[in-house]
Chains A and B, each alone.
Chain A
Amino acid sequence: MKRILLLTILIVSAVGGYAQSFLQNSQVNGSFQIDAQYYNTDEGIGIYDSLINGKRLGVNGFGKLTYTLGDFSAGMRFEAYETPLSGFDSRLEGCGIANYWASYDNGTIGVTVGDIYDQFGNGLVFRTYEEWSLGFDNSLRGMRAVYRPTQGVTLKGVYGKQRYYWASYDADQSRGIVRGIDGDWDINQSISGLNDSKFRASVGASFVSKYQKDNDLFYYMPENVAAYAGRVNLSMGRFAFSTEYAHKINNPSAINNMIYKDGEALLSSLSYAQKGLGIVLQVKRVDNMSFKSDYNAKESDLDINFLPPINFTHTHSLPAMYSYSTQPNGEMAVQFQVNYTIPKKTLLGGKYGTKLAFNYSQVNDIVRDSIIVNGVPSLNQSGTLGYTSPFFGVSDHIFYRDINFEIEKRISKDWRLVVMYINLLYDMATIEGHVGAPEVRANIAFADITYKITARQSIRCELQHLWDNIGKDYVVHEGEEKDFQKRGNWMAALLEYAIAPKWFVSVADKYNYGNPVAEYRDHYYTVSVGFIKDATRIMLTGGRQSEGVVCVGGVCRTVPASSGVSLTVTTSF
């Protein structure tokens, strides 16, 4: 009996000790967010009961937990859209555990099962990611294996099925299976003699294939569609160059009008950086490069790849109204950016120095030449090779152009000023699908002034103005009013008072005073109060939101006009 008791005590002590050590070495992290909005009818901006359709409250929320113990980690993400906020896809409605995963990685070998987020190179052939503000999630449910056989070499393989709102992952679901491999070689890390070299080089290659059964009634569909890419990154001192080229074989889809032409994309970047000066030149070509795991999918559903935008990202409300959305069927883009800081204690630099930034970006269509089908010239006709396109051909059709210049200046210990001028060309017909809508040629200027009242209190004021090429007197034809909903001149102002580090309150108004349609000359006013404590942020906003487009990384979501009260709560631990 004594022996049994002794044995029991030993086991309990061992398990207890192990459990204690297990718990001490474990780490749990989490983040939570709730976005809720109560919608009011507001006839002034065209929000009627019929439009709200009984859905007065929209709530989007998520909770993410990650557990880590040494080389092992696991996590899950719960999401709820009851009902989704206005502008989010109604197919998101519902709640449940959207993602879960477990991973082991000892530095040489790594294996992940469950929902995978990863990227090969720039993402031209493969990128899975989640963007809460867009309601976008193209994660891959399956497996990933990573192998690092030697210093600087990483080999990777993934396969699985992509998330499609709340659709099941069963075999009978029509969307395809994605498989991919990637290899990356950092030459400096691999060759000891080059470890400390000023010349840095890495190369990589990817191959991704989608399998989707051919159930099409009218077209022979390629069941295995492959895309491959190669990349090079070089740097020497202050110069850096990177490029990636991707190619995709025949992939008829709802996006490309069921043509069988191969697709391709090129992204190159050359930069120079030294203290106080940075210069970047980027170019991009995209031709028929939408790549989805279901050929019937539209918009940004089930994207396997990612086509990075090379445009300036505006954060102020007026220029952000006209954000560019990547055109996967074809675009030729260029961006040139210079950042220069005028040194302190010079005539123009003053006591604190002055930051200058110039950015030029432009996106044109590609050139498409007809092909002969049954003896007749044909352009982009379904069930054909579509068209031919010279690699360096640039169409005269400009989708987007942004020329902007920014000055950031700390005037004194208490005053800081940012001013910016933007010249914008925005082809609304292409980017937003408002066929026949005239292009936007706008000049925008803003000043962002911050005054530090005390060490903890500050006041910030934003003043913006947008001059549109379409004025109040523009004749809008009957039935085309909708295309002019945000056209004409705008002015906007914001006043924000902050008591660091916890409180801020702001009032803002955007006024579309120059709209050619009288009923659209509306004010969009908001009042916001925010509270921050540690990692928790609570923000309450009341007022109107104008119709617009939210874009993150060239992927966009249309936000309809709304009126009401919104609450955002975020926290993490």
Chain B
Amino acid sequence: MKKISLFFVFALMFVMTSCDKLDEPFKKEVNIEATGRVVLLEDYTGVRCVNCPAAAEIAHELQETFGESLVVMGVHAGFLSMPLTGYPDFRTEAGTAWYNYFGFQSNPIGTINRIKGDAGYGFNDGEWATKVAEELAKEQVAELDIVCNYNEQTRNLNVEVNTVFLQSQSGKYLVTACLVEDSVVGRQLCPEPVGADSTYVHRHVFRGTINGTWGTEIFDGAVPANEEISTTCSITVDTTYNADNCYVVAFVYEDANKNILQAFQKKIK
């Protein structure tokens, strides 16, 4: 009987210390200090993915919260991005290659600076805020700058990406430049009662890479700090894209683990 009583005393202590009942307010005041680091959030989405609009909303809210410290790309890839009649086709060769490389199977799912979490590169939309904040809290190791030269007549876009490492680095590093178009109107499957919404505004639509799926190697070996490394590339902007809403997103990453060190975005005009 003594042993049973002991168990109940222990159980009571356990119960009393294992509940956190919270009172309102439940929302925190968010204060973010800019550190110079810019994080890339890739929202892998699909036009027939009913949960994707909510994820896109989270991405958009995060961008409003973090301002220029966060770059968002909506990458349409995977089964739910395959358009049926009436849906826009936002799929890209690079987006599909990335989706497959990261082992994704469904949408929505996101990468944050392409770091690996508990279960690979993908994070649920509920985890994005925390992961973005974690990445932003890290020390800035590189600076990026983009110079865009867009010819409105030929729609030719020349891009120069300049990378400066703030500390000496060793390893293989690449820079990828992407074309992104914001605010594209096209059908999207939304939760009830909306359903298929032909007036849906797709934010930050990834239109493709400018310098290949995995970008351009900027060095392999050791590189000293504060030395500018430039890489150039060009593309003809599709006539169906609204150039006023287009911008270039560039990011530098380490080839061995695909982790992005710094991202940057700039409007093409």
A interface vs B, CB < 8 Å? 51, 53, 89-91, 93, 147, 149-150, 153, 155, 164-168, 173-175, 179, 181, 183, 207, 209, 211, 215-220, 222-226, 228, 249-250, 252-254, 258, 260, 295-298, 383-385, 429, 433-436, 477-482, 560
Determine how close the nearest CB of chain B comes to the CB of A183; give it in whole angstroms: 8
CB < 8 Å neighbour of B14 from A174, A175, A207 = A207
Q: Report B268 CB to chain A, min CB distance, Å.
A: 31
Given A433-B50, A480-B196, A218-B4 contact (CB < 8 Å): no
Q: Closest B-chain residue to A168, C-beta based?
A: B118
Known: A93-B103, A435-B195, A436-B192. A179 touches B14 (CB 8 A): yes
Q: Give me 15 A-to-B residue pairs in the complex whose CB atoms sit less than 8 angstroms apart, sorted by A's number.
A: A89-B105, A90-B105, A147-B3, A217-B28, A222-B20, A226-B18, A226-B19, A254-B125, A297-B124, A435-B192, A436-B196, A479-B85, A479-B187, A479-B196, A482-B48
Cβ of A482 and Cβ of B84 under 8 Å apart? Answer: yes
Distance between B18 CB and nearest chain A CB, rounded to angstroms: 3
Residues of B within 8 A of A90 (CB): 103-105
A406 to B35, CA, bound (A): 69
Tell me what chain A mostly uses at the interface: helix, strand, loop, or mixed.
loop
Q: Using known A-B contacts A173-B118, A209-B18, determine if residue A149 contacts B4 with beta carbons closer than 8 Å.
A: yes
Q: Is the CB of B4 within 8 A of A153?
A: yes
Q: Are A209 and B14 in contact, with the CB atoms below 8 A?
A: yes
Question: Across the interface, do A220 and B103 meet the contact criterion of CB distance under 8 Å?
Answer: no
Known contacts A217-B130, A220-B26, A155 near B19 by CB under 8 Å = no
**How far, in Å, is A494 (CB) from chain B's closest CB?**
30
B67 within 8 A of partner (CB)? no
Against A, the Cβ 8 Å flags (1 = close, 0 = not) of B1-35 are 00110010001001101111110111110100000
Contact indicator A219/B103 (Cβ below 8 Å) = no
- Interface residue count on the B side (C-beta < 8 Å): 52
> Within the assembled complex, what's the spacing in Å between the Cα atoms of A383 and B100?
35
Asked if B231 is at the interface (CB within 8 A of a chain A CB), the reply is no
Is B126 located at the chain interface by the 8 A CB criterion? yes
Is B119 engaged at the interface, CB distance under 8 Å to the other chain? Answer: yes
Decide: A175 and B22 in contact? CB cutoff 8 A.
no
Q: Enumerate B117-138 residues with CB–CB distance to A below 8 Å.
A: 117-120, 123-127, 129-130, 132-134
Q: Are A217 and B129 in contact (CB under 8 A)?
A: yes
Besides A249-B19, A560-B79, 10 other A-B contacts (C-beta < 8 A): A149-B3, A179-B14, A207-B14, A216-B28, A220-B26, A222-B20, A298-B126, A433-B51, A436-B189, A480-B196
B221 at the interface (CB under 8 A from A): no
Contact A181–B51 (Cβ < 8 Å): no
Q: Are B124 and A254 in contact (CB under 8 A)?
A: yes
Q: Is B98 an interface residue (CB 8 A)?
A: no
> B103 is contacted by which of A91, A183, A211 (Cβ under 8 Å)?
A91
0/1 string, B209-241, CB within 8 A of A gives 1:
000000000000000000000000000000000
B200 within 8 A of A: no
Interface centre among A150, A179, A478, A479 (most CB of B within 10 A): A479
Closest 5 CB pairs of A and B: A209-B18, A254-B126, A479-B86, A436-B195, A167-B118
Residues of B within 8 A of A228 (CB): 15
In the complex, chain A residues whose CB is within 8 Å of the CB of B94: none
Residues of chain B contacted by A168 (CB below 8 angstroms): 118
State whether the Cβ of B171 lies closer than 8 Å to any Cβ in chain A.
no
Would you call A219 and B26 a contact (CB within 8 A)? yes
A531 to chain B, nearest CB (A): 33
Contact partner of A435 (CB less than 8 A), chosen from B87, B119, B126, B190, is B190
CB <8 Å contact, A179 and B187: no
Q: Which listed residue (A147, A224, A433) contacts B20, Cβ 8 A?
A: A224
Q: B130's contact among A53, A155, A179, A215, by CB below 8 Å, is which? A: A215
**Given A224-B20, A226-B15, A433-B50: A217 and B133 interface contact (C-beta under 8 Å):** yes
CA distance A480 to B126 in the complex (A): 28
Q: How far in angstroms is the closest Cβ of chain A from B127?
A: 4
A372 to chain B, nearest CB (A): 12
CB distance from B211 to the nearest CB of A (A): 24
Chain B contacts with A in 31-80, Cβ cutoff 8 A: 48, 50-51, 79
Measured between C-beta atoms, what is the minimum distance from B24 to chain A in Å?
8
